[in-house]
Amino acid sequence: MHHFKRFFISFFLAYLALALMLSAWQLVTDSAPNTPAIAWFGSLLSNATILFFFVSLFLRKPARTSEHPLPITLLSATGVIVTMMQSQGSHQQPGTAFWLAAIGFIAWIIYLRWYSRSPIPSLPHLKPGKNLPGFQVIKGDGQVLTSQECINKKYLWLFYRGNWCPLCVGQVQEVAAQWRELDAMGVEIMLVSPQPQTHTQALAKRFKTPMTFLHDPHNQAAQRLGIAAPGSLPFGLELLGYEPDVVLPTIIISDEQGKIRYAHISDNYRVRPEPKVLIDRLRSSATQETEVNYH
């Protein structure tokens, strides 16, 4: 299923760009006299709204979005309705403008309901009170770090997909902005990704904070934890040197004894815990166990 998703998102973005350009060209040149300009405007509105959503992710790099971006859905649906009503008013069969809008909108719904979600299996080994499972990652100097070594202090483990994911970069930036508060609580920040070391080093240089960037070669640690997402890299990004297997966005908090106190595995990659949630969990983890959250 992941392999279908990697092709879907790449072709969806390409389709939106092409549909937008075609609609804009027809609207400006009026080279299709049988189709009213308002119909091309509807197609332009429908596809441009969705494309704007994705472009804004890469420009703003937010750490999360709402599960259902209602304004985007409503504006795109409005564009489809405009093209449909124009066809009915002129007693014509739905033309190219309608289908360009309709296909983009349907793909958007598929993106929200199917692509954004990843079923999470039962992960009893990540329950609070359990020892953090044994795994290995690679430090920036090439040395191996094992999870068994990470004791005698609290650790915040953030497993992120890679530099190509704007939401992951936004989440890393959000954690970096809190490092002083986390450091005061004795928390060490561990950022783990299966992406190549060169990409990880490029990301590390952007942050002047004491966070540890770690490489998970071949997704071995993610597989050990049960949070791997094999074959989920969007099609085409392998040309930039990324590995095809990625990880489900995950946060794990472990305590001084190496026991898990909190875990959040996102079954919707656009929905992630707010910073306040992590701070509250860290403050309470010394006295009470928390639950694993699947959102």
Q: Where residue 45 falls among pLDDT bands split at 50, 70, 90?
A: very high
State how many domains the chain has.
Answer: 2
CATH at residue 272: 3.40.30.10
pLDDT: is 261 or 120 the higher one?
261
262 and 184 in a single domain? The answer is yes
Of 115, 142, 162, the residue at which a domain comes to its end is 115
101 and 155 both lie in a single domain:
no
Same domain, 157 and 45: no
What does the pLDDT average to over 222-250?
Answer: 94
Is pTM beyond 0.95? Reply is no
Which residues constitute the domain of residue 289?
Answer: 130-294
Residue 288 has pLDDT above 60, yes or no: no
Whether 252 and 174 share a structural domain: yes
Q: How far, in Å, CA of 94 to CA of 295, rounded?
A: 40
Q: What is the pLDDT of residue 90?
A: 52
Residue 242, C-beta contacts closer than 8 angstroms, at least 6 positions apart: 162, 164, 195, 196, 199, 233
- pLDDT score of 292: 46
Q: Is the pLDDT of residue 138 over 80?
A: yes
> Are 160 and 110 within one domain?
no
Is pLDDT at 31 greater than 90 in this prediction? no
> What is d(CA 57, CA 38) in angstroms, rounded to the nearest whole number?
29
Q: What is the mean pLDDT of the chain?
A: 90
Domain-located, residue 120:
no
Residues 80 and 213 in one domain: no
Would you list the DSSP string of the chain? -HHHHHHHHHHHHHHHHHHHHHHHHHHHH---TTS-HHHHHHHHHHHHHHHHHHHHHHHH--S---SS-HHHHHHHHHHHHHHHHHHHHTT----HHHHHHHHHHHHHHHIIIIITB-PPPP-GGGSTTSBPPP-EEE-TTS-EEEGGG--SSEEEEEE---TT-HHHHHHHHHHHTTHHHHHHTTEEEEEEESS-HHHHHHHHTT--S--EEEE-GGGHHHHHHT-EETT-SPTTGGGGT--S-EE--EEEEE-TTSBEEEEEE-SBTT----HHHHHHHHHHTTT----EEE-
Q: Give percent of the chain above pLDDT 70.
A: 92
pLDDT at 54 over 80: yes
On whether residue 121 sits in a domain, the answer given is no
At which of 90, 115, 140 does a domain end? 115
Answer with the residue of higher pLDDT: 89 or 247: 247
Q: Are residues 90 and 139 in the same domain?
A: no
Looking at the fold, whether 252 and 276 belong to one and the same domain comes out as yes
**9 falls within a domain:** yes
Structural domain contains residue 124: no
User: Is 40 contained in some domain?
Assistant: yes
Mean pLDDT of 261-287: 85
At residue 93, the pLDDT reads 54
The verdict on residue 197 lying in a domain is yes
